[in-house]
C-alpha cells in the first residue's frame, strides 16, 4: 500500500477561497476555562469519544441548565449520550413533551467523519451555560446528541475522507457492524437508530436536525440545508421549512458571513451543466423518515471543500438561529404539524419521481433527452452560486473528469424535484400481522405505531397478496447484499381470504398519525417495506412435495376428467417450449392445480382489512 499523507491529499483539493466572518467572534479565547478541545487546536483536530463525553460531563455538573443521559448502547458497548438543555424545573421526557415550549432535537455524527455538528454543539452549549446565551432557553428546549455513531467515531484516521478539508482525525462512515445508520430508519436493524426513534417517541420533538458534510461538486456555498420543498407526505411542514425556516436561517447565516444554499445533487454527477436534482428519498433516510411520520426535519449538508473551522461556525449559527426561530415561530410549526398528522389520505404513493423524467433510465441520459426539447414541462430553475469547472482529459484513464478552477460563477440552472407520487396504494382500514411475524411486529412497536395485540384467536375476512415475478437483486441485476440484506421486489396479486389470526397477532389501524408510516413499511410495493428488505423471504420456499409416481397417474386422471384442462395444457405447451420439455415444470403445474398444493406458497402473510 502506498500512503499518501493527508496533508498531501488536502493540497490536491480544489482551491479554497479566503474566508472571514462575524461568526469568528464565537470562538472562545484560549484562557476561557470552557474552551473546547477543537477551539484549542485551532480547528485542526476534533476530540475523541472519551474526551468529548468527559467535557460534557463536567459541563453538565457545572450548569443546572444542562443534563446528560444515555439513550442506548452501541454494538461495541459505548454509551450513546444525549444532552438535555432546558430551563424547565422538571427535566424528564414526559415533562419536556408536555411543556408548551417547542422542542428541538439536534443530532450530530450519524456519519462521524462529518462531525461539524458535535463541535458546534459543544460551543453553543458552553455559551448557553456560561457565555451569556441563557436566554435562548426562555422559550425553547433543546436535545443534543453529540455523536450518534459512537463506534464509527472511534475508527479514526486522517485517511477516511479524502474529499474533505479537515479535521485531521476523521471518523468512519458506518457503524461497528459496517451498517450505514442513515439507511436504517425504516428497517431498524441498528441499536443506534432504535435509540434515536425511542427519543423521538418519548420526547416528541417539534423539529429534528441531522447534520452532515457532503462532498461531490464544488460551489461557493459553505452550508446547504433543506426540508423537502413541497415533496413528500407532510405538505404543511415542508412548506413551513421552505419559507419560514429558510428565510430566517439564510438571513442569520449571511449576516455572519456564511454562504447558505439549497441541497445540491448534480444531475450528471459531474457538474451543474445539466442541473440539480432533489430526489425525495425513501424513509431509510432521516429526513424522509421524519417527513413520513409528520415531524419537521432539516438535513444539513456542510460543504466538504470548505475548511473545518468555517463549517463548524456555520453550523453554530444555524443552530442558534433555529432556536431563536422556534422561540418566535414555533407555534406556527406546531399548528401545521398537527394538521399534517390529522390527514388520512385515501391513497398513498409508494415512491416519488421527478415529473420530467421516467423513473427508469439514469438521470444523465434523461436530462440529455429533455434538453432536446421533448415538450415535457420545464423544471424549476435555480440561481447557483457556482464555481467554474473545466472538463479535462485524464492522463491516467484516457477518459475525462472535471477540474474545479476556484473562479466564482453565478449561473441559472435547471432544478428538478421529485414531487410526483407514483405506485399509489389504497389505504386499508387496518392490517393484521400474524403472531409468527413477531420480529416485524416488534420493529413496528419501536417505531411507535399503535396496535392491538390479540389475546385470543380472531377469524376475519381480509385481502392478502400473492407475490408474483419475484426478483432478488439490488438494481444492477446481481444478487448482492445491501446493508446486510438481500432485497426483493415482486408484483402483488390481491386475493380474498377468510383467515384466523392466532393470539399474539397484531391489529394495526391506519387511522393514526403513524398510519402512513405503517403503510410504507407493510405494503410490498414500497422500497422500504419489510417485504423488500427481505423479512419475508421464507414465503418463497416450497416445503412439501409430491412424488412423480403419484403425480403422473393423477395428472392423467385430471386430463381425462376435464377437457378444459386438456385444452389449457396443450396451449401452454405450444406457447412455452421450455415448459413442454421440462417434466418437473409440467408435473408442478398439475400439482399446483390440486388441493394438495401449499396454498400459502408465495402468500404475503400481512393482511389488509378493506
Q: Closer to Zn ion at the Cβ: 111 or 311?
A: 111
CB 143 within 8 A of CB 110: no
Query: How many whole angstroms separate alpha carbon 106 and alpha carbon 188?
Result: 20
Shortest Cβ distance from residue 173 to Zn ion (Å)?
Answer: 7
Q: Closer to Zn ion at the Cβ: 183 or 246?
A: 183
Backbone torsion region of residue 581, taken as left when φ is above 0, otherwise alpha when ψ lies between -120 and 50, otherwise beta: alpha
Shortest Cβ distance from residue 261 to Zn ion (Å)?
Answer: 17
Q: Closer to Zn ion at the Cβ: 184 or 252?
A: 184
Q: Closer to Zn ion at the Cβ: 114 or 282?
A: 114
Q: Closer to Zn ion at the Cβ: 111 or 126?
A: 111
Query: How many whole angstroms separate alpha carbon 63 and alpha carbon 59?
Result: 6
Q: Closer to Zn ion at the Cβ: 111 or 353?
A: 111
Q: Closer to Zn ion at the Cβ: 92 or 178?
A: 178
- What grid cell was written down for 606? 400481512
**175, burial (CB in 10 Å: exposed 0-12, middle 13-18, buried 19+):** buried
Query: How many whole angstroms separate alpha carbon 209 and alpha carbon 193?
Result: 14
Q: Closer to Zn ion at the Cβ: 47 or 109?
A: 109
Q: Closer to Zn ion at the Cβ: 38 or 214?
A: 214
Shortest Cβ distance from residue 116 to Zn ion (Å)?
Answer: 11
Q: Closer to Zn ion at the Cβ: 165 or 353?
A: 165
Cis peptide preceding 167, ω within 30 of 0: yes
Q: Per DSSP, which regions of 316-446 are E strands?
A: 347-353, 380-393, 400-417, 420-426, 430-433
Total length of the chain: 610
Q: Closer to Zn ion at the Cβ: 161 or 427?
A: 161
**396, burial (CB in 10 Å: exposed 0-12, middle 13-18, buried 19+):** exposed
For 525, residues 6+ apart whose C-beta sits below 8 A from its C-beta are: 350, 423, 425, 492
Query: How many whole angstroms separate alpha carbon 169 and alpha carbon 118?
Result: 14
Shortest Cβ distance from residue 443 to Zn ion (Å)?
Answer: 24
Question: b or e along 310-320 (b: 16 or more beta carbons within 10 Å of the residue's beta carbon)?
Answer: bbbbbbbbbbb
Using CB atoms, what's the residue nearest to Zn ion?
212
Shortest Cβ distance from residue 113 to Zn ion (Å)?
Answer: 8
Query: How many whole angstroms separate alpha carbon 126 and alpha carbon 60?
Result: 10
Nearest to 285 by CA among 301, 266, 270: 301
Query: How many whole angstroms separate alpha carbon 38 and alpha carbon 122?
Result: 9
Shortest Cβ distance from residue 324 to Zn ion (Å)?
Answer: 26
Shortest Cβ distance from residue 111 to Zn ion (Å)?
Answer: 4
Rule CB under 5 A: which residues touch Zn ion?
Answer: 111, 114, 212
Shortest Cβ distance from residue 129 to Zn ion (Å)?
Answer: 29
Q: What's the number of CA atoms in the CB half-sphere (13 Å) around residue 33?
A: 5
Q: Per DSSP, which regions of 473-526 are E strands?
A: 488-501, 506-509
Shortest Cβ distance from residue 441 to Zn ion (Å)?
Answer: 31
Q: Closer to Zn ion at the Cβ: 181 or 519?
A: 181
Shortest Cβ distance from residue 346 to Zn ion (Å)?
Answer: 36
For 217, residues 6+ apart whose C-beta sits below 8 A from its C-beta are: 264, 266, 270, 271, 272, 389, 402, 404
- What grid cell was written down for 45? 483536530
Shortest Cβ distance from residue 380 to Zn ion (Å)?
Answer: 25
**546, burial (CB in 10 Å: exposed 0-12, middle 13-18, buried 19+):** middle
Shortest Cβ distance from residue 326 to Zn ion (Å)?
Answer: 24
Amino acid at each position: 500500500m502506498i500512503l499518501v499523507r493527508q496533508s498531501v491529499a488536502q493540497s490536491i483539493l480544489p482551491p479554497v477561497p479566503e474566508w472571514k466572518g462575524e461568526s469568528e467572534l464565537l470562538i472562545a479565547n484560549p484562557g476561557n476555562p470552557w474552551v473546547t478541545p477543537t477551539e484549542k487546536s485551532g480547528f485542526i483536530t476534533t476530540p475523541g469519544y472519551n474526551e468529548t463525553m468527559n467535557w460534557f460531563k463536567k459541563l453538565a455538573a457545572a450548569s443546572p441548565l444542562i443534563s446528560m443521559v444515555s439513550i442506548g448502547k452501541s454494538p461495541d458497548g459505548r454509551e450513546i449520550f444525549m444532552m438535555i438543555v432546558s430551563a424547565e424545573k422538571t427535566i424528564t421526557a414526559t415533562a419536556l413533551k408536555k411543556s408548551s415550549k417547542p422542542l428541538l432535537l439536534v443530532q450530530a455524527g450519524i456519519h462521524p467523519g462529518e462531525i461539524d455538528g458535535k463541535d458546534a454543539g459543544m460551543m453553543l452549549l458552553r455559551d448557553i451555560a456560561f457565555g451569556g446565551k441563557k436566554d435562548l432557553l426562555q422559550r425553547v428546549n433543546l436535545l443534543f446528541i453529540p455523536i450518534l455513531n459512537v463506534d464509527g467515531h472511534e475508527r479514526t484516521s486522517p485517511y477516511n475522507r479524502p474529499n474533505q478539508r479537515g479535521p485531521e482525525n476523521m471518523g468512519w462512515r458506518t457503524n461497528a457492524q459496517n451498517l450505514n445508520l442513515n439507511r436504517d430508519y425504516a428497517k431498524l436493524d441498528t441499536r443506534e437508530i432504535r435509540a434515536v426513534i425511542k427519543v423521538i417517541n418519548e420526547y416528541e420533538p417539534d423539529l429534528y436536525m441531522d447534520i452532515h458534510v457532503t462532498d461531490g461538486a464544488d460551489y461557493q456555498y459553505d452550508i446547504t440545508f433543506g426540508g423537502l420543498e413541497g415533496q413528500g407526505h407532510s405538505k404543511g411542514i415542508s412548506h413551513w421549512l421552505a419559507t419560514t425556516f429558510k428565510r430566517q436561517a439564510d438571513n442569520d447565516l449571511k449576516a455572519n458571513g456564511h454562504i447558505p444554499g439549497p441541497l445540491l445533487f448534480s444531475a450528471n454527477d459531474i457538474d451543474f451543466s445539466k442541473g440539480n436534482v432533489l430526489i425525495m428519498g425513501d424513509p431509510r433516510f432521516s429526513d424522509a423518515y421524519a417527513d413520513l411520520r409528520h415531524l419537521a426535519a432539516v438535513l444539513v449538508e456542510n460543504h466538504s471543500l470548505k475548511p473545518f473551522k468555517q463549517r463548524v461556525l456555520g453550523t453554530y449559527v444555524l443552530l442558534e438561529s433555529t432556536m431563536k426561530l422556534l422561540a418566535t415561530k414555533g407555534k406556527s410549526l406546531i399548528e401545521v404539524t398537527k394538521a399534517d398528522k390529522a390527514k388520512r389520505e385515501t391513497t398513498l404513493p409508494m415512491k416519488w419521481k421527478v415529473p420530467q423524467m421516467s423513473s427508469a433510465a439514469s438521470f444523465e441520459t434523461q436530462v440529455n433527452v429533455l434538453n432536446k426539447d421533448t415538450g415535457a414541462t420545464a423544471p424549476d430553475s435555480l440561481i447557483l452560486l457556482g464555481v467554474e469547472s473545466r472538463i479535462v482529459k485524464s492522463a491516467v484513464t484516457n477518459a475525462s473528469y472535471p477540474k474545479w478552477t476556484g473562479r466564482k460563477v453565478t449561473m441559472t440552472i435547471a432544478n428538478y424535484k421529485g414531487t410526483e407520487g407514483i405506485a399509489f396504494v389504497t389505504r386499508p382500514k387496518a392490517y393484521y400481522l400474524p403472531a409468527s411475524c413477531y420480529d416485524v411486529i416488534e420493529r413496528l412497536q419501536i417505531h411507535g405505531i399503535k396496535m392491538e395485540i390479540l389475546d385470543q384467536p380472531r377469524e376475519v375476512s381480509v385481502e392478502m397478496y400473492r407475490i408474483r415475478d419475484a426478483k432478488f437483486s439490488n438494481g444492477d441485476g446481481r444478487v448482492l447484499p445491501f446493508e446486510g440484506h438481500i432485497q426483493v421486489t415482486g408484483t402483488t396479486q390481491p386475493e380474498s381470504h377468510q383467515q384466523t389470526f392466532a393470539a399474539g397477532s397484531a391489529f394495526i389501524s391506519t387511522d393514526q398519525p403513524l398510519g402512513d408510516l405503517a403503510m410504507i413499511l407493510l405494503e410490498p410495493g414500497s422500497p422500504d417495506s419489510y417485504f423488500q428488505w427481505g423479512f419475508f423471504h421464507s414465503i418463497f420456499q416450497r416445503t412439501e412435495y409430491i412424488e412423480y409416481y403419484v403425480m403422473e397417474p393423477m395428472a392423467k386422471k385430471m386430463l381425462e376428467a376435464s377437457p378444459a384442462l386438456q385444452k389449457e395444457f396443450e396451449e401452454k405447451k405450444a406457447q412455452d417450449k421450455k415448459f413442454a420439455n421440462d417434466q418437473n415444470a409440467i408435473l408442478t403445474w398439475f400439482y399446483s392445480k390440486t388441493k394438495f398444493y401449499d396454498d400459502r406458497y408465495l402468500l404475503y402473510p400481512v393482511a389488509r382489512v378493506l
